[in-house]
Every structure is written in C-alpha cells, then in structure tokens.
Homo-oligomer: A and B are copies of this chain.
Amino acid sequence: MIGELINGMFKDVGRAIIDKEADVIQHLAEDQVRAGASVLDVNTGPYSKNPKDDMKWLIESIQKVVDVSLALDSTKPDVIEEGLKLVKKRAIINSTNADEAKMEAIFGLAKKYNAQVIALAMDKSGVPNNSQKRLELAATIVAKAIDFGIGPEDLFLDPIVLPVNVAQAQGREVLESIREFRLLSDPAPNTTIGLSNVSQGTKHRSLVNRTFLVMAVANGLTSAILDPLDKDLVDAMIAAELILNKNIYCDSFLDAYRKR
C-alpha cells in the first residue's frame, strides 16, 4: 500500500504546502500509516512555485512523525534528487518511463542514492493501447535497469491504469499486463498501479476502485498507489490477499492485518 494522499493536487494539501501548515501533512502521514500504508507518495502538486523547496519541506515534515519509505513523485529529476538527499529510509522514485533519456536520468539517480524505481510502461508516443506493446516497453525498462546494475526486484512496473469511463477496453489489457510483467525476469519485477485513475470521472468511485484492485491482485499485483483511508478498499485488498493464502486465516483477519 503506497498512500496517495500527500499530493498538492488535492486542494487541502495544496493549500497546506503554500501556507506551510505542517500539521495538515503530518496528520495525513500518520493516518495513512495507521491504515496500513508501508510507503507514502509525496508530490508537491501542479501549483507549487518552488517544487524543490516544497519537496524538502514535505519530507522533513513527514519524517518528524512517521518512519516509512517515501515515493518521491515528480516529473523533475532535480526535485527528486532534492528528496533523495533527505530521506531516512530507502526511497522509491516515482517515476521513469521507457524513454531513453528519462531512464538515463532516473536510473542514474536510483543507482547513486540506492533507490527503487516506479517505471511506467509508456514512452514519447504515449500510453499503449494493448498489453503486447506494454510488455515490450516493460522489457526495455527491465533491460535498461539491469544495465545500471538495478535488479528487477527494485523495479515497480506500472502498466498505466486509465479511467474506465473513457478507455473501457484498456482495463482487460492492464490486467493482462500485470500478469505478464511478473514473467519478464527471475526474480520477478514488482508491479504497481495508480489505482484511483480507473474511477476518475465515474460514479461509484470506491466500488470501481476496490473491484479493480481485487482483479489486479488476482492477476499478481504486488503493490498499488491508493487511498489507504478508504476502509472498504483496504478490506477488499486484505480479503484478496487472504484468498491467495498470503496471510493465514483467522476470524479476525481484518484486524490482524491492520495490527501488523
């Protein structure tokens, strides 16, 4: 569970970043970790005027209250590097894609700072419209990472989830990609998805999110960027992992998972 809530695109968070209200950020960090997130995504958002300073402030604020890994979420390598200098635990860079120049920059940083990497199965020509093309891009990414001495176990391959209301045929392709990515190498690369995107603009967002997550877990998904405060979503994820025998059944399996 990579918690998605510390992102400047959310109004409250964007305002807290501008006004430097650390307690808003810290509550979100604590709430997400309490709900089971083992990684927190950190994104200064589209309105940040000084993303390097804001990233620094966010990380310092978060690390005062929780002790988890951070996923440094930015399109700008210098913002990510600012974060990499500060993190106390091993970080995840969010993200590279399959573009040569992007991979050079991001894998270079990952190697220098011993970070893991989320890698999107897309390139300059955009998001593929089938699983075959996604697999080709994922293979390119895995090969390039190995060139940099970064093993598949430190990659999180993301097939890119699209909103079901505008790209309905892509759901099946993404699910297939999750299954296929795991077969790319031994050890298998990790996989992840930006879950909430599947329900963007739809009604019944929570239902669509948790249904997609369970289908993805059934296909072998190993992590997801999601809202850990959506209790129904986390319940569904826990039940899916139980069914796959990843945790031993007990009557209080929901509580037991959360207390780990």
Give me the interface of A with B, judged by CB distance under 8 Å.
164-165, 168-169, 171-172, 175, 198, 202-204, 207-208, 210-212, 214-219, 235-236, 239-240, 242-245, 248-249, 251-254
Identical copies in the complex? 2
Question: Given A168-B248, A203-B251, A252-B203, A215 and B235 touching (CB < 8 A)?
Answer: no
Q: Which chain B residue shows the least CB distance to A170?
A: B245
Shortest 7 CB-CB distances between A and B: which pairs?
A215-B218, A211-B239, A171-B243, A218-B218, A214-B214, A203-B251, A165-B249
Q: When chains A and B are docked, how far (Å) is the Cα of A235 from the Cα of B123?
A: 36
By the criterion CB–CB under 8 Å, are B214 and A211 in contact?
yes
Decide: B202 and A169 in contact? CB cutoff 8 A: no
Provided the pairs A218-B175, A251-B202 are in contact, do residues A239 and B207 lie with their beta carbons within 8 angstroms?
A: yes
Query: A168 — which chain B residues lie within 8 A by C-beta?
Result: 242, 245, 248-249
Q: Beyond the given A168-B249, A210-B236, A216-B218, could you list 13 further A-B residue pairs with CB under 8 A, ordered by the A residue number?
A: A164-B249, A169-B245, A172-B243, A172-B245, A175-B243, A203-B251, A203-B253, A207-B236, A211-B239, A211-B240, A214-B218, A215-B215, A215-B243
